[in-house]
Structures are given as C-alpha cells and as structure tokens.
Amino acid sequence: AAAAAGAATALTAAALAGRPYDLVVSAGIGGGFAPGAPLGSVVVADAIVAADLGAETPDGFTPVTELGFGTVAHRPDPELVRAVAAAAGAARGTVVTVSTVTGSAARTAELAERHPGVLAEAMEGFGVAEAAAAQGVPVLEIRTVSNAVGPRDRAAWRIKDALTALTDAFRTLPGALAAGARRADRPGPAPEPAPSPRRTP
C-alpha cells in the first residue's frame, strides 16, 4: 500500500507540474517459484497480477473480476519486457502481488495452479501498476530472488545476493529501455491480453 501511495503521489505531482513520467519501474527482491526462478536470479514481469484480490467462497477463491468489478492484472509493454530481460539475463513471466508472504507448500501449489507461468511473488507490484495505469504511464516490474516460495526457511534466504543482482540488473536498464523503445515504435502484432487467474475449486 505504501509503495502504491508513493507512486500515485509522485505521478500526480509530476503531472500537475507539467513534467509527467515516461515510465514507472517497480523493483526489489522477492520470492521465486522453482524451478524457473532460483535464488539470485532476475525476473522481469510480463504480467503483474494481484494474487489475493477477491473473495473466499465455499467453492474456493474467486478473483475480483469474477465478482463483476475491478481488475487483477496488468501487462507491461512486451517489447520493453523483452529488451530489459535480455539485457539483464532475466527470465520473463508472471509476478504475483500478495499481501501475505507464502509460507507453505500448499499455498505455493495453489498459486502455481491459479497463475500458470508464475515466476515470482512480491508485495508491491500490482499497487504500483494500478497507480501508473491511473495516470496512463507504462510500468515494469523487476524482481531478484532472495528466497524460494514455499515453507519458510530464513537460513536459506540470500537477501544480500539478491540486492547485488538487482544492482547489476539496474546497470543494464538505460540501454535496455532505449532498445525497447525503438522496438516498440515498429509496427507489430497486437499484445496478448493479460492472463486471467484460474478460480480455485
């Protein structure tokens, strides 16, 4: 919530000052889903999905979209995603936003089933993407993996390594964004819609 509020405040202030941002980047460390996102790896989101925005029902979890309002996914510009991922040596896939860090094998399996292609989880991306979308500004999410999603094992976390990987990824960002912008200017096929989470039975 704090990240989303901060992004919304900065975007609004910049727009009112006549100096709007061209891009918002939500970046940090997060949990990685095996085997696609091992410790220390970099993930660039091709979809930013709110994993627990909805309702629990007797039939299981229902996304807010199935309740008739709201959205649960944002899809960043695919050319920028490809360019940034290639420059950083990153994997591309879904990054889910959660309000509670996953700490069990059962929850890990549930998220993987509901969000095919999920690579990482974090706690800020979707809120930041919502703030960016409200101002019509593109968004990217970059995560480096500090821990495996699953049963909690603090001794196995590698926060320092993940922060080092994030710093290295950011060094590649200026050139990658320029390359992605050039590719985005070329005509091409329409982007695919953001993936819809599967309802949990």
Boundaries of every domain in the chain: 2-184
Question: How confident is the model over 13-28, as pLDDT tens digits?
Answer: 888 788 888 999 999 9
Compute the CA torsion angle 82, 184, 49, 157 (nearest 10 deg). Answer: 30
Helices marked H in 71-172: 78-88, 105-114, 125-134, 159-171
User: What are the tens digits of pLDDT across the range 18-64?
Assistant: 888 899 999 999 999 999 999 999 999 999 999 998 998 888 888 88
pLDDT at 191: 47
Tally the residues of the chain.
201
pLDDT at 194 over 70: no
Per residue in 89-134, pLDDT (tens digit) is 999 999 999 999 999 999 999 999 999 999 999 999 999 999 999 9
CATH assignment of 2-184?
3.40.50.1580
Q: Is 104 left (phi over 0), alpha (psi -120 to 50) or beta?
A: beta
CA distance 117 to 112: 8
Dihedral, CA atoms, 33, 37, 38, 39, nearest 10 degrees? -90
